[in-house]
Structure 1
Amino acid sequence: MTAMEMIKKTDHLFENIDQDDEVFYNNMTLPTEDDLPYDDGEPMETQRHRDQMNLLIDSLKAYWKDRRLYYISGNMFLHFDPLNKRKFRGPDVFLVLDVDPRERKSWVVWQEGMRFPDLIIELLSDATRAIDKGEKKTLYEQVFRTGEYYLYDPFSQEFKGYKLTGRHYTPVLPDQNYKIYSPITELFLIIHDERLRWMTKDGMILPSTEELFEQEKQRAEQEKQRAEQEKQRAEQEKQRAEQEKQRAEQEKQRAEQAEGRLLTMARLMLAKGYSSQEVCELTGLSEAELVV
């Protein structure tokens, strides 16, 4: 894409382009992400801001693990003016749908088919509150034309949203359950345990990477316990079977011993002059058994 093609595609960004300017822009080579700054070395305001950003990004990535065409990132330079390398923004969280999920140093709109974020979340702080509510809101509304813009303070839990209606933002406040529906993601943003979370329509809070790991760890532990219980049950069954075998063997031995004693008695009786018939009647043995 040439600079002039970009300007024509986003005429709301540039005004009063004359013929000489058009020649200049037609011959202009647009900078790429390799030519543009992508890190100012400035950390986020607090660790809580950093954790909140990562939570929103990582939990959505995990939930959308089977979805391919989208890009979500945070605290990344977003370049939208090829004439000024220092003119950029760095939304705390931004989402673009239907794009290649490849790794990027920064988001350069003219390298992305003039795609601006579909959704932006800014995490408020004392240092950024006025800019986030004023200058950035105007930029995202009038220049980026971002469909959904949300503001959240990780410390005070201040939460507000804006939906683009035509060319202007319409404010959206959370309901009595501290949630706002996001049509772009088809999810809710909700304040849960003093953190901003994604939530499905059926009320499931999207777990973070750490929470998913803990869930998998618990499932693995439960499977291990079930396997151990099955092993114990199998061992108990084996022991019961062995005991039954031993009891049967003992019964057999007792029966053989009793039969042996009875046969010995019968032979003694025969030796004392009892007839075979008398011995059989008294012992219950057969004449064939007496002969053995």
Structure 2
Amino acid sequence: LKLVAVAVVAQAVWGMARALTPDRPRAGIAVAALMGVVFLPGAVGQVLAIAFGAAAGLLLCRDAPAATGGRLAVPVSRRAGAVALILFAGLLVGPTLLAPALPAPSGGAGPAGQGLALFDAFYRAGALVFGGGHVVLPLLQAEVVGPGWIDPARFLAGYGAAQAVPGPLFTVAAYLGAAVGPVPNGLPGAAIALVAIFLPGLLLVYGALPYWDGLRARPRAQAAMRGTNAAVVGILGAALYDPVWVSAVGDARDFALAVLAFVLLTAGRAPPWIVVLLTAAGGLVLAQLR
């Protein structure tokens, strides 16, 4: 199942690179973002890469045309949008400021305190991700593998199995919330993790809607967004290398099976659940041969 993650993330990098880095300036932004995240892994590296992409886009993608089309009918007032944005920021920054009072992941502070730590971890991963489901992979790894809540093999196996499940990739949070070592886990942990990872996106969309028409009409905002999207390609490429490739591909046979899964997804256009089953079967065969 870990090799499925290699193929799926590689397919995502390939598709996003073709769509979001069609010229040399944006390809350069992607490569620079990839290198930055590799040398500075974690949430800080991703945030800096996004900021770099936006700044580089302002300089290199200034010919981007402003968006055209009619105004978006938004049943959300500016005041309600501002409240949502403040709540988003408060839930993101508040636990960090209160970090000394929060329980350690295995600190024996009781289910309620550890449930708060679990919510904080998944909310932060959902809040800092930008550009698609696969980009959340290194953030989730830092939040649940780094503290020792779950081992790397189970983390990537669950991520690979999630490719066969319909719906957004963020639903892997339910698996991780159920599988973490500290309580609450099981169904309560799954519910906490699932709500926490989707909540920041909901608050951001609700908060940004009243201001969206003004932003999309500005050429400079469009240029910054193009650079940001290119940086996302680099971030995803870094995630393909570490943790996906580093953790999953151990020898030439693993590499061959991952390439086969990638070809099935891209050239063969096989459904992801078929690729998951075939790759899992291939992994069992390889395990018997070792």
The structure carrying a bigger strand percent of its residues is 1
TM-score, normalised to structure 2, is 0.21
Q: Which has the larger radius of gyration?
A: 1
Q: Which is helix-richer, 1 or 2?
A: 2
